[in-house]
Amino acid sequence: MNHVVVVGAGLAGVRTVEALRGRGFTGRITLIGQERHRPYDRPPLSKAVLKGEADTSFVDTDLDALGVEFWPGVAAKSLRAGVVETTEGEVAYDGLVIATGADPIRLPGDGPQHVLRTLDDAHELRAMLVPGARVAVIGAGWIGAEVATAARRAGCEVTVVESASAPLSTAVGAELGGRTLPWYDGIDLRLRTMVDSVDEGGVRLVGGEFVEAHVVVTGIGVRPAVEWLADADIDLHNGVVTDEHLRTSLPGVVAVGDCAAWWSRRWQARLRVEHWDTALNAPDVAAATLLGEEAVYDPVPYFWSEQFGHMLQYAGHHPAGDRLVYRGEPEGKWSAVWLAGDGTLAAVLAVDRPRDLVQGRRIIGAGSRLDAERLVDPQVPLRDC
Ligand code: FAD
């Protein structure tokens, strides 16, 4: 293989470049990214960058030392076998890495609407979070909760509009999400409320009520950024479909990160996981596969969120569990686990209890069974359950 083209210069793209070099690939590598920035991490955007504690979050990597041709500000437009068409012309490849991530979903309406996906988004939004500003956050998921945290801290008047009956419902279910309700003290939280449109000066709710806002932030989820592949002869279904080696349906093409829907041996399901840990670790498998080596991506997915002064950590895949066990709340710290029918651990959610997360993730990886009676006692370490 002489020339590998990597489309998407986010974490997954740059880590794949590093993994290719780490595995001894000495051929040409071209890294194409539609943003004008060099690769950066996104988790700090809704945390340190939004709070004004950091200005950037660039990935610690040296593209020159890696011998990479980096094309910032260039977008891939389409793909046919062996050739990527970009906004700067065609580029031929022997191996291709699709790492184009995901794009935020926007709501209808002509009013100004912010999303938080890029460094530029974060800078723009940060400048608007000033004391007294009325901020409407649409969606009480991970991003919405973190934006609300930063806005409240900046002294804004915050309204959060959420269609479900509790925050974080889509991610962890209403029962656990409901446990974060006290954190919204001082925020006008509207649950079971749908937005009709984002208009000039605020948000029109279904039913007609108008919520006035100087700043509207939409955090209702993302879609895999695969529109540029619409006419390509490649399997797409909720992202780029891959096998457990991250191999796509096109020869010599792998996909990785937020845009990839990979087959998980562990869960016997196709997963598309929009988490930093996936973008960090899947690239080594993608690089190995591209170089013809045998590697399987089969992680226990991991995610964290920092909101309202709390650290939430999640590991596993709870749709594989059919029983939710809550582990109590000593000193406001709590965790919960999902057990599969055979007593094995499917997932763990830990709030300010990092030990439960670390032990739980290991237990999930090992496939061990747990005793539900012991689990409910938060004083008993997970590893002893
Ligand atoms: P991306 O980071 O999206 O990178 C893809 C890149 O490809 C982008 O730069 C994009 O512009 C580019 N691209 C897209 N289309 C094209 C094209 N056609 N041509 C060229 N380039 C293209 N995860 C956690 O686990 N914990 C957290 O606390 C957390 N916080 C987050 C906070 C924010 C604000 C955001 C946005 C995400 C957060 N995440 C978090 C998720 C995590 O950042 C993502 O899972 C990770 O960034 C995915 O990396 P990626 O490289 O697959 O995609």
By 3-state DSSP, what share of the chain in percent is helix, strand and coil, each rounded to 5? 25, 30, 40
Atom number of ligand 1 nearest to Cα 45:
34
CA distance 2 to 119: 33
Instruction: Note whether residue 138 is domain-resident.
Output: yes
Q: What is the mean pLDDT of residues 200-216?
A: 97
Give the Å distance between the CA of 132 and the centre of ligand 1: 31
Counting the structural domains of the chain, the total is 3
Q: Give the tens place of pLDDT for each residue, 273-288.
A: 999 999 999 999 999 9
Q: Where are the beta strands (DSSP E) in 202-268?
A: 202-205, 210-212, 215-218, 222-224, 240-242, 253-255, 260-264
Which alpha helices (DSSP H) does 54-191 contain, by range? 119-128, 142-153, 169-172, 174-177
What is the CATH classification number for the domain harbouring 342?
3.30.390.30
d(CA 101, CA 239): 9
Least confident of 37-51, 166-180, 205-219, 368-382: 368-382
Atom of ligand 1 nearest to the CA of 227: 18
Residue 301 lies in a domain: no
- CATH (domain of 39): 3.50.50.60
Q: How confident is the model at residue 24 (pLDDT cuts 50, 70, 90)?
A: very high
* Residue range 126-145: mean pLDDT, rounded: 97
DSSP secondary-structure letter at 43?
A: G
Is residue 298 one of the residues assigned to a domain? no
Residue 321, pLDDT above cutoff 90: no
Distance 50 CA to ligand 1 centre (A): 16
| CA of residue 68 relative to chain centroid, distance | 26
78 and 30 assigned to the same domain: yes
Residues contacting ligand 1 via CB (< 6 Å)? 7-13, 32-35, 42-43, 45-46, 75-76, 99-102, 116-117, 143, 225, 228, 257-258, 274-277, 279, 303-305
Which one is predicted more confidently, 256 or 342?
Answer: 256
> Do 79 and 227 belong to one domain?
yes
CA distance 274 to 314: 13
Mean per-residue pLDDT, 234-249? 98
Nearest CA, atom 12, ligand 1: 8
For residues 111 and 213, membership in a common domain is answered with yes
Residue 297 lies in a domain: no
Q: Do both 94 and 228 map to the same domain? A: yes
Q: Which residues form the domain of 335? A: 309-384
Same domain, yes or no, for 153 and 184? Answer: yes
**Could you tell me if 374 and 352 lie in one domain?**
yes
CA 340-341-347 angle, to 5 degrees, is: 5
- What was the pLDDT predicted at 330? 67
Q: Which of 218, 236, 265 is the last residue of a domain?
A: 218
Q: What average pLDDT is seen over the chain?
A: 96
Same domain assignment for residues 81 and 156: no
Q: Is residue 299 part of a domain?
A: no
Domain boundary among 203, 218, 233: 218
Which of 122-131, 134-143, 372-381 is least confident?
372-381
Residue type, 116: L
Query: What confidence tier does 371 reach under pLDDT thresholds 50, 70, 90?
Result: confident
263 and 338 share one domain:
no
Q: Is residue 57 part of a domain?
A: yes
Same domain, 99 and 110: no
Shared domain for 92 and 232, answered yes or no, is yes
Atom of ligand 1 nearest to the CA of 228: 18
What is the predicted pLDDT for the residue at 148?
98
Digit-coded pLDDT (tens) for 5-22: 999 999 999 999 999 999
Query: Atom 31 in ligand 1: which residue has the minimum CA distance?
Result: 43
Mean pLDDT of 222-250: 98
Residue 304 is assigned to a structural domain of this protein: no
Ligand 1 atom at shortest distance from the alpha carbon of 303: 25
Mean pLDDT of 297-321: 94
Residue 181 sits in the same domain as residue 234: no
Protein residue closest via CA to atom 19 of ligand 1 = 75
Question: Are residues 30 and 61 part of one domain?
Answer: yes
- Which DSSP letter does residue 369 get? B
In a domain, 94, yes or no: yes
Contacts of 132 by beta carbon, 8 Å cutoff, 6+ apart: 155, 156, 157
Residue 367: CB atoms within 10 A of its CB come to 11
Q: Please state the rounded mean pLDDT for residues 114-134.
A: 98
pLDDT in tens, 67-93: 999 999 999 999 999 999 999 999 999
Give the pLDDT confidence score for residue 319 in this predicted structure.
Answer: 84
Amino acid at 17: V
Domain end among 155, 183, 218 = 218
Biggest distance spanned by C-alpha atoms of the chain = 63
